[in-house]
């Protein structure tokens, strides 16, 4: 991670507050483990969340909540959150940055013989995590008042886009879901290119501000996925595609990251939010 060497990097990772559903899913099958529930989540560094809810400055509390991609264990996920915080601070964002950590490190992802199975399990876990992310957002919404509105901005990299779209679908059906998300920012999104149009009602109803998709035709990971299944080309490769049109608050922005890594997308980010 650029700019945070040695022990400073470790301190940065440790300081990022997290919403976590780790340990609830089978890393081989993607199934929910006995005794666990899709909508449950835990807060790491819960005191920081309490301070966030109590503070917030003008307009009420606001946070950027980062959802990582596939093949990230606890430590790697924390590194992604610290990298995101460093990038957003560089761009002048001074509100709270937190991470959403889930079981994306499915077994067999590094071996050709089991990669497809691991990907299917990761997608299953990501989709089911929409319940917990939606619950965190509505729990935040319940604490809103007319004079102090809490704002949650969602940032998702790669597989994290599946978690976010799943959460938006659930929020669209919730009495507290309308306008409960301030903005959405997608980086190298692996959901299908037709998702913004297909879920346009949810994007329009749940997200108060923009839904920005940073896409990269040069992303080698997404290009490989598109070559295997052209009918479900990823949203992060060339942007939204038909049938239908995305909602008015949706926007495609082309970028040229070095590769598919989250850090590469953060390096080319020019503004936030």
| Of residues 153 and 49, more confidently modeled | 153
Average pLDDT over residues 172-187: 96
By CB neighbour count within 10 A (0-12 exposed, 13-18 middle, 19+ buried), where does 175 fall? exposed
CA–CA gap between residue 187 and residue 212 (Å, rounded): 9
User: Angle at CA 189, nearest 5°, toward 66 and 271?
Assistant: 55
pLDDT value, residue 137: 96
Q: Kindly report, residue by residue over 2-36, the tens digit of the pLDDT.
A: 444 455 555 555 679 999 999 999 999 999 999 99
Angstrom distance (rounded) from CA 111 to CA 115:
6
Of 153-167, 182-196, 226-240, the one with minimum mean pLDDT is 226-240
CA angle at 104 for the pair 100 and 106, rounded to the nearest 5°: 160
Q: CA 238 → CA 145, 197, 230, 254, distances in Å?
A: 40, 15, 12, 8
Token pair belonging to 272: 């936030």
Tokens of 234: 């990823």
Q: Assign residue 158 a region (left: φ > 0; alpha: ψ between -120 and 50; beta: otherwise).
A: left
Q: How many CB atoms lie within 10 A of CB 113?
A: 7
Query: How much is the mean pLDDT over the chain?
Result: 92
Q: Delineate the domains of the chain, giving CATH numbers in brackets.
A: 6-267 (3.40.50.1820)
Segment 169-191 shows an average pLDDT of 96
Query: Which tokens in the block code for residue 233?
Result: 């080309």
What is the reported pLDDT for 242? 84
- For residue 3, the model assigns a pLDDT of 45
58 pLDDT exceeds 90? no
What's the rounded Cα separation, in Å, for the pair 191 and 11?
33
């Amino acid at each position: 991670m650029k700019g945070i060497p040695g022990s400073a990097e470790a301190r940065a990772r440790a300081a990022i507050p997290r919403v976590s559903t780790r340990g609830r899913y089978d890393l081989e099958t993607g199934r929910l483990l006995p005794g666990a529930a899709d909508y449950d989540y835990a807060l790491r560094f819960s005191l920081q969340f309490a301070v966030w809810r109590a503070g917030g400055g003008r307009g009420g509390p606001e946070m950027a909540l980062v959802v990582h991609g596939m093949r990230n264990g606890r430590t790697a996920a924390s590194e992604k959150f610290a990298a995101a915080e460093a990038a957003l601070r560089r761009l002048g964002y001074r509100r709270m940055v937190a991470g959403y950590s889930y079981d994306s490190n499915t077994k067999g992802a590094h071996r050709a013989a089991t990669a497809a199975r691991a990907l299917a399990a990761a997608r299953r876990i990501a989709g089911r995590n929409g319940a917990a992310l939606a619950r965190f957002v509505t729990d935040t919404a319940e604490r809103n008042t007319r004079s102090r509105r809490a704002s949650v901005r969602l940032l998702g990299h790669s597989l994290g886009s599946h978690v976010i779209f799943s959460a938006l679908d659930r929020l669209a059906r919730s009495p507290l879901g309308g306008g409960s998300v301030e903005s959405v920012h997608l980086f190298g999104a692996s959901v299908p290119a037709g998702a913004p149009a297909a879920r346009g009602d949810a994007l329009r109803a749940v997200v108060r501000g923009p839904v920005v998709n940073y896409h990269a035709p040069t992303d080698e990971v997404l290009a490989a996925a598109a070559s295997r299944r052209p009918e479900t080309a990823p949203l992060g490769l060339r942007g939204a595609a038909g049938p239908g049109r995305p909602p008015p608050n949706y926007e495609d922005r082309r970028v040229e990251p070095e590769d598919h890594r989250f850090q590469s997308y953060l390096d080319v980010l020019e503004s936030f939010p």
